[in-house]
């Protein structure tokens, strides 16, 4: 195939992809608000927000319980997010390079959940710092591929409304996660139960992402066959 032929083929393929998306997703604002896939992603984001704000609110207190000074707590608390920034950039680039989103979100959520579980089991500063690093890496790495997912099935005003819905509902996790940890700590005197609770939310996020991906694949299969 010569250059002109390749160019024409690429243009036709891109136009077909745009037409396919337009045929399967309404561009109306209401579609973006009511789409069950948007609600699923909002719940996924809910879990990641719970994990993110848990770190912001409670990570210093979790570290400080080992009897460290405020200066030491501040210094150590800066280590996990610094590592997470580097990993997040690499993970996002890997997602773009492979054009894969689902497993990049799922694995990141699972890593964060494991980190929270290990933080609850940790009995030393080094162990809890390693666990919090896993949480930071997982939460931060889940965000870029997650925000790439709505535009895979929505476009136009529906995409804008869908992203706003995901952000609005998902950010409630930033309240629920830290609040539950505080409440459980008041009841039990330990961070463990609250950390396990937020870990469970992240596991749910991973499962919902997988279910959403399978649903999308099932819908795309008939279109491909036809």
Residue 102, C-beta contacts closer than 8 angstroms, at least 6 positions apart: 149, 209, 210, 212, 213
- SS3 category, 99: coil
Segment 14-37 shows an average pLDDT of 58
- % of the chain with per-residue pLDDT over 70: 78
Query: Over the stretch 44-98, which tens digit does the pLDDT of each residue have?
Result: 999 999 999 999 999 999 999 999 999 999 999 999 999 999 999 999 999 999 9
pLDDT of residue 9: 67
Query: Over the stretch 181-205, which tens digit does the pLDDT of each residue have?
Result: 999 999 999 999 999 999 999 999 9
- SS3 category, 167: helix
Q: Which stretch of 27-36, 174-183, 192-201 has the lowest confidence by average pLDDT? A: 27-36
- Residue 222, pLDDT > 60, answer no
- Residue 172, pLDDT > 80, answer yes
- Residue 13, pLDDT > 60, answer yes
- % of the chain with per-residue pLDDT over 90: 64
* Token couple for 175: 């309240």
CB atoms within 10 A of CB 33: 14
Element housing 169 (H / E):
helix 156-170
* Cα gap 41→161, rounded to integer Å: 13
Torsion of CA 191, 112, 177, 174, to 10 degrees: 140
pLDDT of residue 24: 46
pLDDT of residue 25: 46
Q: Which stretch of 77-86, 106-115, 155-164, 168-177 has the lowest confidence by average pLDDT? A: 155-164
pLDDT of residue 26: 46
pLDDT of residue 163: 82
Q: For the residues of 128-155, what is the DSSP string, one character each? A: HHHHHHHHHHHHHHHHHHHHHSGGGT--
Instruction: Name the band, by pLDDT with cuts 50, 70 and 90, for residue 210.
Output: very high
């Amino acid at each position: 195939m010569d250059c002109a032929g390749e160019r024409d083929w690429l243009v036709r393929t891109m136009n077909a992809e745009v037409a396919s998306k337009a045929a399967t997703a309404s561009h109306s604002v209401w579609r973006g608000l009511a789409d069950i896939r948007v609600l699923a992603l909002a719940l996924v984001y809910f879990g990641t927000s719970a994990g993110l704000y848990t770190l912001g609110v409670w990570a210093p207190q979790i570290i400080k319980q080992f009897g460290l000074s405020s200066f030491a707590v501040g210094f150590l608390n800066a280590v996990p997010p610094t590592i997470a920034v580097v990993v997040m950039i690499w993970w996002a680039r890997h997602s773009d390079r492979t054009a894969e989103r689902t497993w990049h979100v799922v694995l990141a959520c699972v890593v964060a959940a494991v980190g929270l579980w290990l933080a609850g089991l940790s009995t030393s500063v080094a162990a809890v710092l390693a666990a919090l690093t896993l949480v930071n890496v997982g939460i931060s790495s889940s965000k870029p591929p997650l925000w790439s997912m709505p535009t895979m099935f929505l476009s136009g005003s529906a995409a804008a409304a869908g992203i706003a819905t995901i952000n609005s509902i998902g950010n409630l996790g930033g309240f629920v996660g830290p609040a539950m940890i505080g409440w459980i700590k008041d009841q039990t005197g330990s961070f463990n139960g609250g950390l396990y609770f937020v870990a469970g939310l992240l596991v749910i996020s991973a499962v919902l992402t997988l279910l959403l991906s399978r649903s999308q694949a099932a819908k795309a299969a008939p279109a491909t066959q036809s």
